[in-house]
């Protein structure tokens, strides 16, 4: 679901990698389809590798997006400018045991903004079947 979607520090929005360049990569904005170079000096994170701190462990971003999608019935969320308290309250419904000391309102806003962008572009498609289960079954058959 989030494979190949990148967040670049200092750049708004989300990106897909288009090609390799001499000293970085060329990325395309999911929102505007504009292509820009991302250099080795930029902090580039794959959404697939991002997780949110909880009191017990870390929860992958894809699980949080699935929770939001389930709660919102696949519609965009918090489209009006919500207060910080509304943002915290909604996030607590999505992830009740998030670490309140390490997860900031700015992080929550970013999660909601990314969710709305990916949902509007129909990029939040749940994978058919769980590949880890399929791999486990395949190994047991051998």
pLDDT band at 1 (very low <50, low <70, confident <90, very high): low
Reply yes or no on whether the pLDDT at 132 is more than 80.
Answer: no
> Could you identify the residue written with the tokens 């959404």?
47
Pairing of strands 58-60, 5-8: unpaired
- Residue-averaged pLDDT of the chain: 86
Higher pLDDT, 95 or 2: 95
Give first-to-last CA distance, the chain, whole Å. 29
pLDDT for 32: 94
| Residue 51, helix vs strand vs coil | strand
Q: Over the chain, what HEC string results?
A: CCCCEEEECCCCCCEEEEEEECCEEEEEECCCCCEEEEECCCCEEEHHHCEEEECCCEEEHHHHHHHHHHHHCCCCCCCCCCCHHHHHHHHHHHCCCECCCCCCHHHHHHHHHHHHHHHHCCCCCCCCCCHHHHHHHHHHHC
Task: Name all domains of the chain by residue range, CATH numbers in brackets.
Answer: 5-47 (2.30.30.730), 51-120 (1.10.10.1650)
Its pTM stands at: 0.82
Residues whose CB falls within 8 Å of the CB of residue 51, separated by 6 or more in sequence, listed in order: 58, 59, 60, 61
What's the burial of 4, exposed, middle or buried (CB within 10 Å: 0-12/13-18/19+)?
A: exposed
Reply yes or no on whether the pLDDT at 133 is more than 80.
Answer: no
Could you report the per-residue pLDDT of 62-94, keeping only the tens digit for each? Answer: 999 999 999 988 778 887 788 999 999 999 999
């Amino acid at each position: 679901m989030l494979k190949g979607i990148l967040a670049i520090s200092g750049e708004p929005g989300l990106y897909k990698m288009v090609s390799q360049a001499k000293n970085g990569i060329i990325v395309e904005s999911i929102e505007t389809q504009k292509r820009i170079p991302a250099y080795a000096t930029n902090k580039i994170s794959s959404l697939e590798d991002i997780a949110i701190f909880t009191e017990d462990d870390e929860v992958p971003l894809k699980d949080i997006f699935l929770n939001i999608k389930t709660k919102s019935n696949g519609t965009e969320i918090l489209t009006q400018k919500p207060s910080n308290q509304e943002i915290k309250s909604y996030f607590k419904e999505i992830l009740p045991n998030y670490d309140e000391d390490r997860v900031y309102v700015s992080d929550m806003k970013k999660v909601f903004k990314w969710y709305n962008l990916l949902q509007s572009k129909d990029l939040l498609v749940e994978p058919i079947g769980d590949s880890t289960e399929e791999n486990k079954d395949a190994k047991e058959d051998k």
